[in-house]
Chains A and B, each alone.
Chain A
Amino acid sequence: MALVTPETKLCDVIIDEPSVIPVINRFDIALGVGDKSVKSICTAKGIDLTFFLTIVNAYINESFLPDYPFKTFGAKGVIDYLRKTNNSYLRNQLPNIERHFRALIGHSDANNNLPLLLQLYQEVKAEIERRIEADNTWFDKIIELEKKAGQAHISIDPAASNNEADSIEDKLNDLKSMFVIHLRGDYDHNLCHAVLFAIISFEKDLRQNNRIRNRILFPLAAAIEDNTK
C-alpha cells in the first residue's frame, strides 16, 4: 500500500493492511478508531507522530527507507516498541500456536507427520526465546550508551543496516512449506487451517519487525556506539 502520512485515516490503513493490527496494539491503540487521521490519533494518545509513521511504514512497506536522522525519537523509543513485540510473542503468539498445534495433533490420531512439524515449531520457538533473552542484554546496553551520548549529534549510516539472513524466518518459512506442500495423511482440517493461519501471520509479523530491527535500530545503535567511543 501507499506510504502512510499524517493525514491518512488510520481505519484505511487497518482495512488495507490488517497485519498492522498488532502494531497499533503495541502503541496502545485499540480497534474502534473511527475515521480520524493518524496525526489526530497520535496527538490524542501522546504518541510521537514521526516515530509512529516510521514504525508503521517500515512494517508495511518492504522498500521503505527511514528518514535519517530521527530528530524526535531515539533508540529508547524503538527499543520500547521491540520489547512490547517480544513480550507479545512470549505471552500470546508463541503459546497460542503451540496450544492449537497440540489440539490439532490430539484430533488427528493417525497422522505421524504432525508431531514432527511440532518438533520443528518447538525448535523455532526455542530459538526465538534465546534471541529475546539476548535482546534484553543488547537493548540495555544501547539505552545505557544513548544516555551517555546525551543530546550529542549522531550521524547515522544507512549502510550499517543488518542484512544477514535470519534463520528464524527461514525455519518459519519451512514450516509453512511443510504444511502447504508436504503434509500427508488425515488430519482435522479446521484445526490445521487455524495452525497454518497462525504460523503465516506470525511469520509475517516477525519478518516485518525484523525490518524495524535491522533498518532502524541497527544503524541507530551503531551510530550511538561510534559516538561514545
Chain B
Amino acid sequence: MQQVNIKIIMRDTALAVGLRHLLHNLFDIEAERIDEGQLAETDTAATDLFIADSRSFASCIGFFIPRRTKLILLTDGESAGDGSIQTLNRFADEQTFVARLTQIVEAVREKAEDGNELSQREIDVLCLVASGMTNKEIADKLCISINTVLSHRKNITSKLGIRSASGLSVYAMMNGYISPTV
C-alpha cells in the first residue's frame, strides 16, 4: 500500500488527536499534527493532504488557497470556496463521516500512486502560463532561468499530455488552480 503524507492543522487538540487515531486505526496512516507557524517550513510537494479546521484555514488563507487541491476543510456542514474546496463535515453521523474520510483517503492514495502528479513548482508555472505570461515573464516572476521554465513546461506537457497554453489554462481551471472564466 502506498504510504501517504497527511498533515493536520487545527487548534482543537481533541479533534486533531481523534482524527489522527482514526487515520491510524482505519487506514494505517501516520498523520502528523503541525501548528500554523510550521506551515511555512512544510515541504508542500511531499505532502499529499492538509486537513485544517476553519479557524486555522482562515488564519493561513494565503497558504491554503493556492494549495486548495490538497486541502480538506473540516466544516460545520457548509460548503467552501464556491465548492472548489473539499470539505469534511464534523457534525455528520459516524457512518457518513467515516465513509467521507474513506473516500478522501482513497483519492489521496490513488493520486500518490500516480507518478504523473505535478510538483508544487510545476503547478506555480502552470498557473502563470494559464494567466497568459510568457516564458521570460515567468522566469522573472519566479526568479529562475528561462531554461528552468522550459524544463518545467516540458515536464508539465509530458505529465498531462497538454501542449498549448489554452489547454493548460483549461486544465488549471478544471483543477481549481485558477478561477474559471466562464
* Number of residues from B at the complex interface, CB < 8 A: 14
Q: Is B61 an interface residue (CB 8 A)?
A: no
Q: Which of A58-66, A136-144, A178-186, A205-213 contacts B (4 or more CB under 8 A)?
A: A178-186
Output the least CB separation between A144 and chain B (Å).
34
Q: Is the CB of B174 within 8 A of A181?
A: no
Q: Is the CB of B174 within 8 A of A174?
A: no
Q: Within A78-120, which residues are at the interface with B (CB < 8 Å)?
A: 112-113, 115-117, 119-120
Q: Is B162 an interface residue (CB 8 A)?
A: yes
Q: Is B160 an interface residue (CB 8 A)?
A: yes
Q: Is B167 an interface residue (CB 8 A)?
A: yes
Chain A minimum-CB-distance residue to B83: A112
Residues of A within 8 A of B181 (CB): 119
Q: Is the CB of B161 within 8 A of A181?
A: yes
Q: Is A228 an interface residue (CB 8 A)?
A: no
Q: Which of A145-153, A165-173, A193-201 contacts B (4 or more CB under 8 A)?
A: A165-173
Q: Within B142-182, which residues are at the interface with A (CB < 8 Å)?
A: 160-164, 166-167, 170-171, 173-174, 180-182
Q: Is A220 an interface residue (CB 8 A)?
A: no
Q: Is the CB of A177 within 8 A of B167?
A: yes
Q: Is the CB of B174 within 8 A of A120?
A: no
Q: Is the CB of B163 within 8 A of A184?
A: no
Contact of A116 among B160, B161, B180 (CB under 8 A): B180
Chain B minimum-CB-distance residue to A113: B174
Q: Is A175 an interface residue (CB 8 A)?
A: yes
Q: Is the CB of B160 within 8 A of A182?
A: yes
Given known A-B contacts A115-B182, A116-B180, A119-B182, A174 and B173 have beta carbons under 8 A apart: no
- Measuring CB to CB, which residues of chain B are less than 8 angstroms from any residue of chain A? 160-164, 166-167, 170-171, 173-174, 180-182
Closest 7 CB pairs of A and B: A174-B167, A177-B161, A170-B164, A170-B163, A174-B162, A120-B170, A171-B164
- Measuring CB to CB, which residues of chain A are less than 8 angstroms from any residue of chain B? 112-113, 115-117, 119-120, 123, 167, 170-171, 173-175, 177-178, 180-182, 184
